[in-house]
Amino acid sequence: MKKLLSLAAAFLLCAGVQAQIVSSRSVSIKSAQKQPSETQWFLRGGLNVMKMTGDGAEDTGSKLGYNFVYGFQKPLGSIGTYWGMEFGLGSRGWKVEENESDYEYSLSLMAHNVQVSPFTFGYKYNITDALAVDAHLGAYVSCDYVGKIKEKESYQGDSEETSVNMGDWEDWKRVDAGMNIGVGIWYDRFNLDFTYQRGFIKTWECNTSNVLIRLGVAF
């Protein structure tokens, strides 16, 4: 009888240990399945200091615009490098101003566009667990869908203002392509980013030259 009880106890002990092992493996598998993806999605938007460069833009100055994008960053290995893509809305343009004692003149152009960044490569350097520096380089393609040139002239209190829509601009190239190069700071999920955007396609003998100052959040 004692031998039977001993065998039964040993059997129950082995069964309990085996059940515990199976349970632990099951929990581990479920935990692995619930781990979040390494891909980081983000929204980013803010101010665009727009300007044009080149022979056709020698007398032009900067004008304020905007830039908003939705994109992702996917790690390349475990050393902080990544690649990503972005899709968003932006603007480009310029402004000319002349002010004298009794005379004021301004001429400005602003074009609104859809932008796609087919690839961006970057490197994040972690200063602390929550703070990181993000350097990145990529390409973009944009297409202007609407725009306006505004001209305003004032003399001795009398003013006159005219405007011309994009459809009436002669020889304006709506499609642009170029590069984005920038650096940003991440604190946990929040981002402050500075990017220079340079277009390679000339229109009216000038190229896009934007400075983007944007805030972002990852999720």
* CATH code at position 181: 2.40.160.20
For the full predicted model, state whether its pTM sits above 0.85: no
CB atoms within 10 A of CB 160: 9
The answer to whether residue 123 sits within a structural domain is yes
Number of separate domains in the chain? 1
Tens of pLDDT, residue by residue over 71-127, are: 999 999 999 999 999 999 999 999 999 988 889 999 999 999 999 999 999 999 999
**Within a domain: residue 58?**
yes
Question: What are the residues whose beta carbons fall under 8 Å from the beta carbon of 180, sequence distance 6 or more?
Answer: 117, 120, 136, 137, 138, 139, 140, 195, 196, 197
CA distances from 3 to 6, 7, 9, 13, 113 (A): 5, 6, 10, 15, 86
In a domain, 155, yes or no: no
Give residues with Cβ within 8 angstroms of 107, minimum separation 6.
Answer: 95, 96, 149, 150, 151, 152
Residue 85, in any domain of the structure: yes
Per the domain annotation, does 59 fall within a domain?
Answer: yes
| Residue 9 belongs to a domain | no
Range of the domain at 188: 35-92+111-143+170-218
Q: Which of 31-45, 144-158, 194-208 has the lowest mean pLDDT?
A: 31-45
Domain assignment of residue 8, yes or no: no
* Rounded-to-5 percentages of helix, strand, coil across the chain: 15, 65, 20
Residue 70 lies in a domain: yes
